[in-house]
Chains A and B, each alone.
Chain A
Amino acid sequence: MAHLPLEGLRVIDFTVVWAGPLVTKMMAELGAEVIRVESKEHFPSSTKGLMAYPTKEMVATMGGLGSAYPNKDPGPDPYNRHAMFNVHAINKLSCTMELDRPEGMEAFERLVKVSDILVENNAVRVGNKLGLDWEHISALNPRMILVRMPPLGLTGPYANALGFGAHFEALSGVTYIRGYRDADPSKTTETFHMDDASAHGVLFAVLAALHHREKTGRGQMIEFPQAENMLQQMGEAFLDYSMNGRSAEPHGNTHPFFVQGCYPCKGDDQWIVFTLENEAQWQALLELAEHPAWGEDPRFATPLSRRENQDALDPLLASFTQQHDKVALFHLLQRVGIPAAPIYDEADAYRDPQFSERGFFKSMTHLETGTHLYPSHLSQWSGLQMRWETPPPMLGQHNAYVYKEVLGYSEEEYQQMLEQGLIGTEYARA
């Protein structure tokens, strides 16, 4: 019986915000021992909530991600209770380590010597200051696979630019062309596609580097410029510019040559999307719509003319979709071979039979937040189950294990570190 591919490997998880933590989540699912190395003196914003210690009143006014606590109650230790961290922290361990103190650096260097992979996605300056550079790391452990994932790379005029994924999407051309066709660009809201693209790219890169290490015995540094990785997903737009000098304009929900859109359904803010790829699908749709008069309109006689006259067609399609429940219409359209999907919010997703049957949402019990259904693995394998074992760790929860068993500190030394406040389980209060 085979074991998971990363079993027996140790990962130092020095990541913040979203992109880095998703990579290490997948590594933990693939069997690695993932140890989050966290500073209790510096609360990392947008990693475990927006602030370390918001009050209940503040949470009530923040809404959205600001209030993603169980029952919107931040409790005495909000950072252990926030959805944005807990959702990708399953199977991970947490220890605290202050790399700007000599004792912390010594512990870190011990950890580097007994680990296989180090992933960090801090600003370039921060990573360099904390000794996450290859020179320092490889001197301690030449077999280490070090991943540094600054948004714009380690070099170049903007290497030190500061922002979140959404900002680098703006700089990369995504945000402008992602806009509505007929509304001001200020109507475009943020996405964080880059974070997700990075996580899967890094996982692939690390596995490839491990394969290389098996063959050569050597580790290496992977420079992972998150924006450049994302630009891979836009190749046709860059080639179009190179071929034709054409710089893409916002195209909303439309498709280059098919009729495609997002149409309202019964109820408040309920929608369906679909694409009409050929004549047969158009005819099937007209039949579902009980042969409306507009089906005979010469402007809509061919696939090409329908696409050309889509602005006139859209309200007519909407007059049809509006009469239907989005999920019922989804099944009707699928039955006649039209690629269609309802727009789901989270409640819809949790009650969907497809996702239930595949067991996509899995249960996990956490001491502080209770039992909930979490999104789980991104693939299913014929011969192996990915790991789903321990709940999201609380800050420093595994200090004793890491310091004594992994790093070899004595009980006495460990107690001394605790007393001196070098390690702990609470963030400093500002």
Chain B
Amino acid sequence: MAQVLSDVRVLDLTDSIAGPFAGKLFADFGADVIKVEPPQGDPARRYGPFPGDRPHPEASALFLHLNRNKRGITLNLAEPAGRELFLQLAKSVDIVLESFAPGQMDAWGIGFEKLRMAKPSIVVGSLTPYGQYGPYATYRANDICYYAIGGPMNATGAADLTPIKKTLNMVEAQAGNTFASQVMAAFMVGRYQGEGQHVDVAAVESQLGSVDRRIIFLLTYQFNGETSSRSAGLGVSTLPMGIYPCADGYVQIMTTPAWAGRMLATLQDESLNAYFKEHPMAAMDPSTAEVVQEVLYPWLLSHTKQECFEEADLKNGWPVFPLSTIEDVMNDPHFEARQYFLEIEHPVAGKLRYPGAPWRMAEGGFEVRRAAPLLGEHNEEIYCEELGLSSEELARLRALGIV
């Protein structure tokens, strides 16, 4: 069966992380996503990590992951001839994704209004740090900046230490995830009503509108004037809550008052059971913390993180979860049983294990069709076979540095 988006074509002009993440979602579900790189390539090709830590523009882990399932061409939009070629390409697509500075596409004469004249249903998605207008429209930002000004970084981390960002490039990726969902919604208008849209997404707003605490804290401030902080946390409990050491690492525990029974069922300690029986309000009593710790700590230190998880959570429904490492995750029996990680072969980087389907659809879902494109891998296929350029013309464009 054809994939759900097999009749959708996307020109992905974005680079680095956030924009390509959005293009990847379209590509993973069947869209023909043509990645357009400047002749020197997407900067993500230089980010790594690389096999053996030897930089190679075709073997950057970040690039390989974010651009799988896409075809790739090179095109120099700074040159008028490059823009001419782009306009021809754009006639055949449903969606253009771009992350240039606001106004750059218009200045080049290839902005939304221009594209829409040739194709009224076209959707142009623009992703920038602060959106297309406003006093900060030209300001620069990245993963840590989006989280700092948009997200709840002020409330992430320990009160006696600095605020701390999210890990890897997950905030960039989430900006791309937001970009994808918003552009997909506009595509439905373009496809079914014939009216194109210019979609303006601000990466910072993807954090300011995040359900990871931020929007809740924002309305809380409106309701009662309280701002969030690292010391306030999510409300203090007298029962185990947070990260604790165990035999071979750490576990994350949560015990609401309603779950005290599940904790007791796991710890199986007679004196602790008796204490809770004698004190019906124990869960609300601050002195309970110490009583529980006396039993909890030895129990944790005599169990591995996996044993803690199986005994407490899987058996008794008391959330005690392992702080898994990347190695743990890639060897985890659950993800193994679900065959989540997939091998993809790439001509330069070789056979590697990638995260698989983000979600599973009964019909037309995720497939791996190809590894990330080599720089300009599909130039001939797209410019000559699909756009009808002769090989002489392509050679001329190459010589001029357009392709």
Q: In the complex, which of the residues B139, B205, B214, B309 contacts A378, with contact meaning CB atoms closer than 8 Å? A: B205
Contact of A242 with B62 in the complex, beta carbons under 8 Å: no
Contact of B142 with A275 in the complex, beta carbons under 8 Å: yes
* CB-based nearest A residue for B158: A187
Q: Which residues of B contact A262 (CB under 8 A)?
A: 144, 148, 153, 162-165
B145 within 8 A of A: yes
Contact of A209 with B324 in the complex, beta carbons under 8 Å: no
B226 within 8 A of A: yes
Contact of A207 with B185 in the complex, beta carbons under 8 Å: yes
Contact of A228 with B223 in the complex, beta carbons under 8 Å: no
- Shortest CB-to-CB span from B311 to chain A, Å, is 12
Chain A, 144-171, contact with B by CB distance < 8 Å: what is the 0/1 string? 0000000011011110111111111011
Q: Which residues of A contact B319 (CB under 8 A)?
A: 162-164, 167
Q: In the complex, which of the residues A67, A87, A339, A381 contacts B215, with contact meaning CB atoms closer than 8 Å? A: A87
Q: How many A-B residue pairs have CB under 8 A?
A: 506
A45 within 8 A of B: yes
Contact of B65 with A235 in the complex, beta carbons under 8 Å: yes
Contact of A345 with B326 in the complex, beta carbons under 8 Å: no
A307 within 8 A of B: no
Q: Which residues of A contact B39 (CB under 8 A)?
A: none
Interface residues of B in 299-338 (CB under 8 A from A): 309, 313-314, 317, 319, 321-330, 332-335, 337-338
Question: What is the interface of chain A mostly: helix, strand, loop, or mixed?
Answer: mixed
Contact of B161 with A180 in the complex, beta carbons under 8 Å: yes
* CB-based nearest A residue for B157: A189
Which range holds the interface residue count of chain B? 35 or more
Contact of B358 with A180 in the complex, beta carbons under 8 Å: no
Q: In the complex, which of the residues B149, B164, B187 contacts A180, with contact meaning CB atoms closer than 8 Å? A: B164
B217 within 8 A of A: yes
Q: Among A112-120, A217-225, A290-298, A394-402, which stretch is in contact with chain B?
A: A217-225
Interface residues of A in 48-75 (CB under 8 A from B): 50, 62-72
A415 within 8 A of B: no
Q: Which residues of B contact A18 (CB under 8 A)?
A: 211, 216
- Shortest CB-to-CB span from B348 to chain A, Å, is 12
Interface residues of A in 22-49 (CB under 8 A from B): 22, 26, 30, 45
* CB-based nearest A residue for B129: A339
Q: Among A91-99, A348-356, A420-428, which stretch is in contact with chain B?
A: A348-356
CA distance A222 to B4 in the complex (A): 12
Contact of B211 with A233 in the complex, beta carbons under 8 Å: no
Q: Among B71-79, B248-256, B263-271, B272-280, which stretch is in contact with chain A?
A: B248-256
Q: In the complex, which of the residues A6, A45, A69, A176 contacts B250, with contact meaning CB atoms closer than 8 Å? A: A176
- Shortest CB-to-CB span from B123 to chain A, Å, is 9
Contact of A344 with B188 in the complex, beta carbons under 8 Å: no
- Shortest CB-to-CB span from B98 to chain A, Å, is 14
Q: Which residues of B contact A129 (CB under 8 A)?
A: none
Contact of B219 with A86 in the complex, beta carbons under 8 Å: yes
B224 within 8 A of A: yes
Given contacts A186-B244, A382-B112, contact A209 B355 (CB under 8 A): no
Q: In the complex, which of the residues A338, A354, A379 contacts B140, with contact meaning CB atoms closer than 8 Å? A: A338
Q: In the complex, which of the residues A196, A229, A234 contacts B210, with contact meaning CB atoms closer than 8 Å? A: A196
Given contacts A339-B140, A341-B148, contact A232 B355 (CB under 8 A): yes
Contact of A161 with B313 in the complex, beta carbons under 8 Å: yes
Contact of B211 with A30 in the complex, beta carbons under 8 Å: no
B50 within 8 A of A: yes
Contact of A247 with B327 in the complex, beta carbons under 8 Å: yes
B166 within 8 A of A: yes
Q: Which residues of B contact A170 (CB under 8 A)?
A: 251-252, 321-324
Q: Which residues of A contact B155 (CB under 8 A)?
A: 345
B181 within 8 A of A: yes
A269 within 8 A of B: yes
* CB-based nearest B residue for A84: B216
Contact of A62 with B228 in the complex, beta carbons under 8 Å: no
Q: In the complex, which of the residues B21, B48, B131, B234 contacts A64, with contact meaning CB atoms closer than 8 Å? A: B234
Q: Which residues of B contact A132 (CB under 8 A)?
A: none
B369 within 8 A of A: no
* CB-based nearest B residue for A377: B209
A374 within 8 A of B: yes
CA distance A338 to B155 in the complex (A): 24
Task: Name 13 extra pairs, CB < 8 A, besides A233-B169, A379-B182.
Answer: A64-B228, A170-B323, A185-B250, A186-B250, A189-B157, A197-B174, A209-B361, A237-B326, A243-B349, A251-B167, A262-B162, A345-B229, A373-B222
Sample 12 A-B pairs with CB under 8 A, ordered by A number: A157-B334, A171-B324, A173-B328, A177-B326, A240-B326, A242-B354, A243-B51, A344-B149, A345-B227, A346-B227, A358-B133, A376-B209
